[in-house]
């Protein structure tokens, strides 16, 4: 079956702009979680959505937000971009129940200039 | 945020050698996952562990969930050039109604010399 699909793969934005990233999970998976990966901080958990509800949230400012649609597809949004937001943003999907593993997409590379 | 301790940070080995890396946590985990990430790509799941003491293999890869539930190791036997990449461990403390929140190690960068 198809894996986790993220779009766009690469994008460049200017400071102060906003960006929306999209993720389509593996068919049948109801949980989508988002991670930020940077060389300095590694993989950091942003938030998780399950059945259109944010179920868990990491320690990121309110400029980072997300949502999930009824078909389990998810979007994350970053407003008022800062240079430090440049990172690889990874989406992961799972069935969302105890004992599950998470499967990552290829990520969206965001560069803020 | 919380991170796991993962060692070694990097390693250079000869093709054909065996590799061992490990992850430790100050917290008790109920799930350990091991991933490999190639440059410019997302992490790919290698092995998932769910029970203390569990030993699981996937081809040349073997991973174990430590008895204390605070550590895990990954072994790669007879390394080949395509094993090059960054290996991450990930753990989850507990499952609750607030869903899943995996924490990741900083990664072990593996280089294989021909």
Is B45 close to A106, i.e. CB distance below 8 A? no
Kindly report whether the peptide bond that precedes residue B104 is cis, defined as omega within 30 degrees of 0: no
For chain A, give the mean pLDDT.
Answer: 93
Report the share of chain A in percent with pLDDT over 90. Answer: 81
**What dihedral angle (degrees, nearest 10) is formed by the CA atoms of A26, A20, A107, A40?**
-140
pLDDT level of residue B95 (50, 70, 90 thresholds): low
Q: Which of A29, A32, A45 to mutate to test the interface with B (most CBs of B within 10 A)?
A: A45
pLDDT level of residue B94 (50, 70, 90 thresholds): low
Chain position carrying tokens 């945020």: B1
CA A21, chain centre distance (Å): 7
**Chain B hits for A45, Cβ within 8 Å:** 1, 101-103
For chain B, give the mean pLDDT.
Answer: 91
Give the pLDDT confidence score for residue B97 in this predicted structure: 52
Average pLDDT of the residues in B28-37? 93
Nearest residue in A to B6, CA atom = A42
pLDDT level of residue B102 (50, 70, 90 thresholds): confident
Between the ranges A68-72, B91-95, B98-102, where is the mean pLDDT highest?
Answer: A68-72
Tokens of B47: 């092995």
Q: Does A60 touch chain B (CB under 8 A)?
A: no
Report the share of chain B in percent with pLDDT over 70. Answer: 91
- DSSP H helices, chain A, are none
Give the pLDDT confidence score for residue B99 in this predicted structure: 64
Whether the predicted pLDDT of B53 surpasses 70 = yes
Average pLDDT of the residues in A49-69? 94
B52 Cβ partners below 8 Å, 6+ apart?
B65, B66, B67, B68, B69
| Rama region for A9: left / alpha / beta (φ>0; ψ in -120 to 50; rest) | alpha
Tokens of B1: 């945020």
Give the pLDDT confidence score for residue B92 in this predicted structure: 85
B89 Cβ partners below 8 Å, 6+ apart?
B4, B6, B23, B32, B33, B34, B35, B72, B74, B104, B105
DSSP E strands in chain B: the ranges are 5-7, 10-14, 19-24, 31-37, 44-49, 55-58, 61-65, 71-76, 85-92, 103-104, 108-113
Give the pLDDT confidence score for residue A95 in this predicted structure: 84
Q: Which of B102, B89, B86 is nearest to B37 (CA)?
A: B86
**Residue A105 is nearest to which of B42, B102, B104, comparing CB atoms?**
B42
């Amino acid at each position: 079956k198809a894996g986790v699909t993220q779009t766009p793969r690469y994008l460049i934005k200017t400071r102060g702009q906003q960006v929306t990233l999209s993720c389509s999970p593996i068919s049948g998976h109801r949980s989508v979680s988002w991670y930020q990966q940077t060389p300095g901080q590694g993989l950091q958990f942003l938030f998780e959505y399950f059945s259109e509800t944010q179920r868990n949230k990491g320690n990121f400012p309110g400029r980072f937000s997300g949502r999930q649609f009824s078909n389990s597809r998810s979007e994350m949004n970053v407003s008022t971009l800062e240079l430090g937001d440049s990172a690889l943003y990874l989406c992961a999907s799972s069935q969302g129940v105890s004992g599950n593993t998470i499967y990552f997409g290829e990520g969206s590379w965001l560069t803020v200039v | 945020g919380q991170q796991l301790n993962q060692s070694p940070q990097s390693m250079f080995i000869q093709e054909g050698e065996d590799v061992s890396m490990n992850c430790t946590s100050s917290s008790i985990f109920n799930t350990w996952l091991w991933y490999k990430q190639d440059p410019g790509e997302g992490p790919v799941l290698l092995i998932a562990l769910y029970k203390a003491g569990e030993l699981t293999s996937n081809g040349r890869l073997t991973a174990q969930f430590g008895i204390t539930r605070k550590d895990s190791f990954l072994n790669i036997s007879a390394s080949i050039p395509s094993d090059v990449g960054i290996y991450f461990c990930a753990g989850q403390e507990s499952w609750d109604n607030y869903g899943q929140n995996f924490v990741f190690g900083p990664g072990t960068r593996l280089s294989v010399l021909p």
